[in-house]
Amino acid sequence: MLRVGFIGTGIMGQPMAINLLKAGFPLMVFNRTKSRCEPLVALGAAVGRSARELAEQSDVVIAIVSDTSDVEQVLFSEGGVWHGVRQGMTFIDMSTISPRATVQFSKRLLEKGCEMLDAPVSGGERGAREKTLGIMVGGKRDVFDRCLTLFQAMGKTITYAGPSGNGQKTKLVNQVVAAINLLAVVEGLRLVRAAGLDAEPTVRAISSGAASSWMLTNLAPKILNNDFAPGFSIRLQSKDLNLVTQFIADVGGQFPGAQLVSSLFAEALRRGFGEAGNQGLINLWNEAGGQEPPMASGKV
């Protein structure tokens, strides 16, 4: 069985790592905040002193961290994965980062004979806990096939997306659709309030028809209960939409919906809502007394 090193045991990473342990994979974990490793140690995981040590003692190293710069640090800083990799290893990045940087990282790892898969996830904390994540994977097909059992231990819908970087590109398409969908939910609930409708039966009614969606089913009840705990934070949503902006600049074209949601999440971040769940986007209007918040400038 593959020996796995796991880097990043936060909101998403910890339940994903727990599911790997439950599936029987020998696991060594590393996190800059050591206390986040304790639940995994209680379940039988070992703790590495560095990312390099994980690489030295693993067949596959998985990372799920916040941004492109964090993945670069995990890989190439002093004590990083790069210094411990060897021929035949695989590094799997399950973060959401720049597709362009992903291709560069993959090429550099390959200089040492280490393959890389970019495998970002969708489904939030609940999907990570319940092993129902969507996983979009870029890289070589044979490497994907070798690692499929790992993905199956963490997710439900595992899709091979093509060459290196395509997993990240697919995830950014997902983020555009998801963020626009969330804005639709927020706008609908604001209209419910403005019209004086009873919110719960209204949401139940529209959830049974063409307006039904993951965002409506999972986040509308949280908004109605003023529950803004993060399954996926506004800060990370805004980060992903910044990646979308860069991606669209590379591919070209007009994407007004992406421009709108990117501006709104940037404004939510500016107002200090960054650590709230992304359903907290509605607080832009709650704070503004129902008035339209100012839009950030820039074209997408």
Residues with catalytic annotation? 171
Q: How many CB atoms lie within 10 A of CB 11?
A: 19
Closest among 195, 194, 220, 227 to 206, alpha carbons compared = 220
Q: Computed from CA positions of residues 166, 171, 174, 176, in that sequence, does the dihedral angle turn out positive or negative?
A: negative
Compute the distance between CA of residue 107 and CA of residue 120 in angstroms, rounded to an integer: 18
User: Which residues are CB-neighbours of 225 under 8 A, at least 6 positions away?
Assistant: none
Contact (Cβ atoms closer than 8 angstroms) between residue 254 and residue 238: no
Q: How many CA atoms lie within 13 A of 205 on its CB side?
A: 9
Burial class (CB in 10 A: 0-12, 13-18, 19+), 283: buried
Compute the distance between CA of residue 246 and CA of residue 252 in angstroms, rounded to an integer: 10
User: Which residues are CB-neighbours of 80 under 8 A, at least 6 positions away?
Assistant: 50, 51, 52, 73, 74
